[in-house]
Amino acid sequence: MINIFLKDLKLFFSDKKTLASIIVMPIIVTTILSFALSGSFGEAGSDWILNIGVVKEYDKNSEEDKFIDFMLDFAERYDVDIEKFADGEKQFEEFNPEKIFFQDYLGNEEIKKFLSYEVMSKKEGLKKLGNKEISSLVILPKNYMYDMYINTFTNFRNKLEIRVISHPDMNYSGSITRELMKNFNNIMSSIIISKNVYFESVSPYLNSEEIGENISKILSSNEYKNDGINIEERRVDSKNYISSFAYYTVAMLAMFVLFISSYGGKFILDEKRNNTFQRQIVSGKNLSRILTGKFLMMFTMVLIQSLVMISFSRLVFKINWINLPQIIFITLLSSLMVASLGLMITVVTLKTNNYKVSDAFSSGVVQILALFGGSYIPLETMPKFIGAVGRYTPNGALLKAYIKTLEGYGFSNITEHILVLIVNILVFSIISILIIRRKSHAEFIKS
Amino acid sequence: MLEIKNIKKYFNETKAVDNISFKVERGDILGLLGPNGAGKSTTISIISTLIKADEGNVLYKGVDIEKEPKKIQKQLGFVPQEIALYPSLSGYDNLKFWGKIYGLKGNKLKEKIEEVSQIIGINKRLKDKVEEYSGGMKRRLNIGSALLHNPEIIILDEPTVGIDPQSRNHILDSVKEINKKGSTIIYTSHYMEEVEYLCDKICIMDEGRIISQGTKEELIQSVSAEEKIILQVENINKKMIEEIKKISYVDKAAYVKKEITVEKKGNKADYSEILEAVSKNQGHLMSMDIKKPDLEFVFLSLTGRALRD
């Protein structure tokens, strides 16, 4: 049996094409998918920084002059003592929309931990966005200063729209930037609303000096400096982030191990066609021994493939394979699952005497299982029924078990997936044994 | 040593083997001769335990191999008609695998690989992959893989099909050498000259049956075949033919155009009277060919067809 196993392993390694498709292909596909879909995943690590660009479409000086002209015209027209109402230049200087946005908001200590911005022209910003040097471009529009002054110092309300352009591959980064800008708008709106309410409800009872003092207090409430900005860097469940590299290493591993299961069938039919199978039978080696050799070959190939993928991802993608005993346990179960599935395919291939069974599995069934098991797209983003089915597929359970381990979950949190794998192993093995027992050896031998 | 008793094998409605019996003694080279489809491969598949007979028994040293297949399997070297090797492995790895299958290991395995590769003449190409071998080399390695464990019985199923004459001769000589070392051999072929050259006993098979068996001489005698003399003569006439017919050891004489065929009686190797009759009647002898009776003739006599039809 060991001789048959070693010979099968030698045959596997002697076929460069097979070896490439089992060892090299998963590495290539993982690399491509990880880079291509990196924007759909959270970046791991505390040094994660959101890089954005900010475009100033407004002209600070001319818009300030424009506002002063407006106020002077307003005061003259309605005979308002502008000096007393707004406490003159002091208050105007204190309320600086540019300073509020850049220093008080984006420069806030909490935001600075994960966001870095750079002021740039729109053209430069779009170019950097295209090159993914920044994830989003925030555009402060023309009249930003003027509109902010109008909204703040008068009871008029001008529409002010801060635009955010994001790279399509960096969805999550784009969402965070949009949320930040929405938050900034909300803070400014609440200040402006407070001021307007005050104007309309209190001003009839107070003199202009008292109004000026209280407006000054509202504007200097500093809400935009600290309050309302509470960024939590950790996941809700305090677990590790899964990068696209970690996800696709595991997803491709869970998919590519399934391909190995078709090789038992292919190998045994090759042997039948070149009569080495019959020769082994004549030498006294029974069918069970030959099949056990194939089982061990597939088991070992999954171990080798997993070891290569894990080592590659550790060295190249710097993926931290924590909880090694749990990873080893899952890998051993994965090898058993693939070998028992392979055994079933081998027996059916031998019985039908046709390559179609193993071919159909490797070219069709694996792809369907990959889709349902979350190897291409995470199950969380798929329709609910696919997610429900996927978690019970062998590769889906395998993927979940690995991912949860990488996230930091212990054995008790992966028992469901382990059970799914064990049930798969049992089902495949029982079907194989039933087929072998129900058919005579002669039926397997005849060509 | 090996007794085949009334075995029958059907594949659906087709009778592949129809009630055949024969015995093989230790040290024999038994030939199964017959055209393609005669039932030779089915017979040896039953003997080698690959398939089971529908009726009858095969006894190896008195033990029914259907009940105890292991008994013969350990002592059997089976060389199938098709090349049963792993093409992507080297010749050495193939021999090593088949040696290990029969329980050889360590130095003994190495020694046997060395010895067998010498016998089959591939010792210089052992490291090369089998897929790079010529057809003849593959055939020889196919045989070598069955010799490693010194089997008591070696079954060779048409081992020379599709190879060059040089490799064929090498294989035939190897088989003789292996037999001299003590192995009993069952050799199937549809090449009459191979069976004639190698085998002590011959079973002629056709349509699943053994139509005749015995030594070569016994088979020839069984169809009363005699020597034939073919003469190419210019100026043949009836008087010449009549005079030849009157010669005491001549059984029959006939002519077609410039060719006279004379069938002899007895073993007397004297042709002078025939030549004298030709020259006396103004005939000009161009050539003379003496044809001894062979297995081809036996087969033709028994079935009315040539062996390779």
What pLDDT sits at residue A299?
93
Strand pairing class (B55-60; B63-64): antiparallel
Compute the Cα dihedral for A361, A367, A372, A374 and give only its sign. Answer: positive
Contact B89 A11 (CB under 8 A): yes
Share of chain B above pLDDT 70, in %: 97
What pLDDT sits at residue A331?
93
Residues of A in contact with B129 (CB under 8 A): 14
What pLDDT sits at residue A205?
62
Least confident range of A297-311, A324-338, B191-205, B261-275 = B261-275
**A125, HSE (Cβ side, Cα atoms, 13 Å):** 22
Asked whether residue B273 carries a pLDDT value surpassing 50, the answer given is yes
Asked whether residue A230 carries a pLDDT value surpassing 50, the answer given is no
* pLDDT digits 0-9 by tens, B178-225: 888 888 999 998 888 888 888 888 898 888 888 888 888 888 877 766
Q: CB–CB of A242/A403 below 8 Å?
A: yes
Residues of B in contact with A279 (CB under 8 A): 78, 80, 84, 98, 145
Q: Does A281 touch chain B (CB under 8 A)?
A: yes
Asked whether residue B233 carries a pLDDT value surpassing 50, the answer given is yes
- Residue A192: closest CA among A222, A154, A249, A141: A154
Pick among B70, B72, B97 to test the A interface (most A CBs inside 10 A): B97
Q: Among partner residues B50, B74, B88, which is closest to A278 by beta-carbon distance?
A: B50
Asked whether residue A227 carries a pLDDT value surpassing 70, the answer given is no
Rounded Cα–Cα distance for residues A133 and A87 (Å): 45
What pLDDT sits at residue B90?
92
Give chain A as a 3 state SS string.
Answer: CHHHHHHHHHHHHHCHHHHHHHHHHHHHHHHHHHHHCHHHCCCCCCCCCEEEEEEECCCHHHHHHHHHHHHHHHHHHHCCCHHHHCCHHHHHHHCCHHHHHHHHHCCCHHHHCCEEEEECCHHHHHHHHHCCCCCEEEEECCCHHHHHHHHHHCCCCCCCCCEEEECCCCHHHHHHHHHHHHHHHHHHHHHHHHHHHHHHHHHHHCCHHHHHHHHHHHHCCCCCCCCCCCCCCCCCCCCCCCCHHHHHHHHHHHHHHHHHHHHHHHHHHHHHHCCHHHHHHHCCCCHHHHHHHHHHHHHHHHHHHHHHHHHHHHHHCCCCCCCHHHHHHHHHHHHHHHHHHHHHHHHHHHHHCCCHHHHHHHHHHHHHHHHHHCCCCCHHHCCHHHHHHHCCCHHHHHHHHHHHHHHCCCHHHCHHHHHHHHHHHHHHHHHHHHHHHHCCHHHHHCC
What pLDDT sits at residue A296?
93
Mean pLDDT of chain B: 86
Strand pairing class (B184-189; B284-291): unpaired
Q: Among partner residues A10, A274, A285, which is closest to B93 by beta-carbon distance?
A: A10
Least confident range of A37-46, A341-350, A412-421, B138-147 = A37-46
Contact A275 B80 (CB under 8 A): yes
**B209, HSE (Cβ side, Cα atoms, 13 Å):** 6
Structure-model confidence comparison of residues B103 and A33, the more confident one:
B103
What pLDDT sits at residue A214?
61
Contact A283 B102 (CB under 8 A): yes
Q: Among partner residues B69, B70, B85, which is closest to A276 by beta-carbon distance?
A: B85
Residues of B in contact with A282 (CB under 8 A): 48-50, 73, 76, 78
The DSSP code for B124 is G
Measure CA of the first residue to CA of the last residue in chain A; give whole Å. 23
Mean pLDDT of chain A: 79
Q: Does A276 touch chain B (CB under 8 A)?
A: yes
Helices assigned H by DSSP within B83-151? 91-101, 106-120, 135-144
| B4 bridge partner residues | B22, B58
Residues A360-386 have a mean pLDDT of 77
- What is the pTM assigned to this prediction? 0.65
* pLDDT digits 0-9 by tens, B57-107: 889 888 888 888 888 888 888 888 888 999 999 999 999 999 998 888 889
What pLDDT sits at residue A71?
80
What pLDDT sits at residue A208?
59
What are the strands, taking DSSP E only, across chain B? 2-11, 14-24, 29-33, 55-60, 63-64, 76-79, 153-157, 184-189, 201-206, 209-214, 228-234, 250-256, 259-264, 284-291
Q: CB–CB of A142/A57 below 8 Å?
A: yes
What pLDDT sits at residue A339?
93
* pLDDT digits 0-9 by tens, A261-293: 888 888 888 888 888 888 888 888 888 888 999
What pLDDT sits at residue B307?
65
Structure-model confidence comparison of residues A424 and A47, the more confident one:
A424
Rounded Cα–Cα distance for residues A83 and A139 (Å): 34
What pLDDT sits at residue A233?
40
Least confident range of A129-143, A190-204, A262-276, A314-328 = A190-204
What pLDDT sits at residue A110?
77
Please, which pLDDT band fits residue A55 given cuts at 50, 70 and 90? Answer: very high
Residues of B in contact with A4 (CB under 8 A): 101
Asked whether residue A365 carries a pLDDT value surpassing 60, the answer given is yes
Contact A11 B50 (CB under 8 A): no
Please, which pLDDT band fits residue A246 given cuts at 50, 70 and 90? Answer: confident
Please, which pLDDT band fits residue B226 given cuts at 50, 70 and 90? Answer: confident
